[in-house]
Amino acid sequence: MTYVAHDYQRYASDFIETHPASAILLSCGLGKTIITLTAVHDLLFDSFEVRKVLVIAPLRVARDTWPAEIDKWDHLQLLRASVAVGSTTERISALKRKADLYIINRENVQWLIEESTLPFDFDMVVVDELSSFKNHRSKRFKALMKKRPGIHRIVGLTGTPASNGLIDLWAQFKLLDKGVRLGRFIGSYRDAYFKADKRNGQIVFSYKPAPGAEERIYQAIEDITISMKAQDLIRMPELVSTEYRVTLSDEERVIYEKLRKDLVLDASGGQVTAANAASLSGKLLQLANGAVYTDDGTTIVLHDRKLDALEDFIEAANGQSVLVAYWFKHDLQRITGRLEKLGVSFSPLDSSESIRMWNEGILPVGLIHPASAGHGLNLQSGGNCLIWFGLTWSLELYQQTVARLWRQGQQSETVVVQHIITKDTVDERIMKVLSGKAATQDALIEAVKAELDGGFR
């Protein structure tokens, strides 16, 4: 297929080629992969500035998306790619194969650097979903930082760099510029831009930006950063987001309130305890969805309110494919049980074959877990309706999952995102929190948005 780049895509590719370190913060659907591959191709075969490139990506994106993009476009046919996923033997074989581009999943970064015994002789590294390196204490971050001095070019790709606040930016930009712009140490970054928020005496639980800090952070990173929103650049389908509320019975409400107040749920089949607020939130989320794990790992089913609503939505789709996002394993088990009872064909989108079947319109229902399939997968060919059975606190995973359908290449004029919300539960709070976090994310996008000469196609 012939690649006809939008103006912003040419700009972004040129930016990568002219900056040894670059942060490409593009909204989902703008084509981060093809933009980067075009720049890599030019650096390899036109300017000869690099010779061996490593791409680090989420597993399914590494396995499916990057190879598919290389095969898709005519101008990339010179690129030889080797995908290093799978067993240890398969990874080593792939890394020893003669290629220009080596693609590995992020879970194996530490293995590659510290355990594989293979030389780390890549002169360019692309980190697809840079936000997965936001934790400076993670093994993958520490391992890659050891090799950072020998990496001549590095590119960070993401659509959500500050999904949980600006504090997340430090590690990501430390990886890109070795601490030049936001400081070499997280402590100095906090001291320079933040002040204590929630605390207990000398123990600080969270930080918030100091007055004027956001603008100073944006100014510090803008020379190596471009950021664009899809709706500013291309004609996107209309995004319709709705909430459908289900209501607990009086008996179910009593159980929910008991867990919320006492952190203990007594029910036949076992006892559930929530030792802290985080685990309580998880328990309440489970309960809102209709089932909850006990302390011994078994599952208590409390209601089918969301399952009934999901059945109604699938019936109303009248044969059109729908994508269903779930969070807990018992959500998946209960959803599949209901779909089997209804005789509806479905599959979790966890393999190359299931993704192919979805995109070809063969699957009436595709099941997706945001944490494992939220990044990078192109699912827009299979349908235009996403149903959230169970929500997530993560703005990043939420936005990325929505963007599997609401992206460039979507054939429908409208993408519908339907949230099944259990009334007067933690579900409603999550929706408000996600909206609140989006304000910081949007501010970042706006502050470093690339200013281009002329208009976009």
Q: What's the whole-number mean pLDDT along residues 149-160?
A: 92
According to the model, what pLDDT value does residue 28 have? 67
Q: Report in angstroms the alpha-carbon separations of 128 from 66, 105, 182, 216, 390.
A: 10, 10, 21, 26, 26
* Structure confidence at residue 456 (pLDDT): 37
Residue 98 predicted with pLDDT over 60 = yes
Q: What does the pLDDT average to over 113-139? A: 94
CATH 3.40.50.10810 residue ranges in the chain?
7-233
Q: How confident is the model at residue 449 (pLDDT cuts 50, 70, 90)?
A: very low
- The residues near 300 (Cβ < 8 Å, ≥ 6 apart) are 265, 267, 268, 269, 270, 272, 291, 292, 293, 294
Residue 422, pLDDT > 70, answer yes
- Provide the percentage of residues in the chain whose pLDDT is more than 70: 88
At 457 the pLDDT is 36
Q: Which CATH class is domain 238-442?
A: alpha beta
pLDDT tens digits for range 345-403: 999 998 888 888 988 888 999 999 998 765 557 788 888 899 999 998 888 888 888 88
Per residue in 20-78, pLDDT tens?
A: 999 999 876 678 999 999 999 999 999 999 999 999 998 878 888 899 889 989 999 99
pLDDT tier for residue 200 given thresholds of 50, 70 and 90: confident
Which pLDDT score is estimated for 263? 58
As annotated, the residues of the chain forming the CATH 3.40.50.300 domain(s) are 238-442
| Rounded CA Rg of the chain | 23
pLDDT digits (tens, 9 = 90+) for 131-151: 889 999 999 999 999 999 999
Q: Say what the pLDDT of residue 274 is.
A: 45
CA-CA distance, 397 to 430, in Å (whole number)? 13
Contacts of 264 (CB under 8 A, 6+ apart): 258, 271, 272, 273, 274
Contact 209, 55 (CB under 8 A): no
Please give the average per-residue pLDDT across 210-219, as a whole number. 90
Taking the chain, what is the end-to-end CA distance rounded to the nearest angstrom?
20
Torsion angles phi and psi, residue 368, rounded to 5? -130, 135
Transcribe 310-370 into DSSP letters: HHHHHHHHTT--EEEE--SHHHHHHHHHHHHHHT--EEES-SHHHHHHHHTT--SEEEE-H
Please determine, for residue 297, whether its predicted confidence score (pLDDT) is greater than 60.
Answer: yes
Give the predicted TM-score (pTM) of the model: 0.66
pLDDT at position 219 over 80: yes
Q: Out of 70-79, 399-408, 433-442, which region has the weakest mean confidence (pLDDT)?
A: 433-442
At 201 the pLDDT is 73
Tell me the three-class secondary structure of 239-256, residue by residue: EEEEEEEECCCHHHHHHH
Q: What is the pLDDT of residue 259?
A: 75
Question: For 225-283, what is each residue's pLDDT tens digit?
Answer: 998 776 666 677 888 888 888 999 998 888 888 877 765 554 444 555 444 556 777 88
Find the range with the poorest average confidence among 114-128, 180-194, 384-398, 403-417.
Answer: 403-417
Burial (Cβ within 10 Å: 0-12, 13-18, ≥19) of residue 26: buried
Task: Indicate whether 447 pLDDT > 50.
Answer: no
Contact indicator for 50, 39 with CB cutoff of 8 Å = no
CATH 3.30.420.40 fits 7-233, yes or no: no
Q: What is the DSSP string of 257-298?
A: HHHHHHSEEEETTEEEE--SHHHHHHHHHHHHHTEEE-TTS-
Closest CA to 252 of 242, 265, 269: 265
Confidence band of 217 (pLDDT split at 50, 70, 90): very high
Q: Which has the minimum average pLDDT: 182-186, 430-434, 447-451? A: 447-451
**Buried/exposed 91-122: b ≥16 CB within 10 Å, e otherwise:** beebbeeebbbbbbbbebbbbbbeebeeebeb
Q: Provide the pLDDT for residue 59.
A: 86
The tens digit of pLDDT for each residue in 302-332 reads: 899 999 999 988 887 867 889 999 999 999 9
* pLDDT in the model for residue 382: 82
Secondary structure element (H or E) that encloses residue 233, with its range: helix 230-233
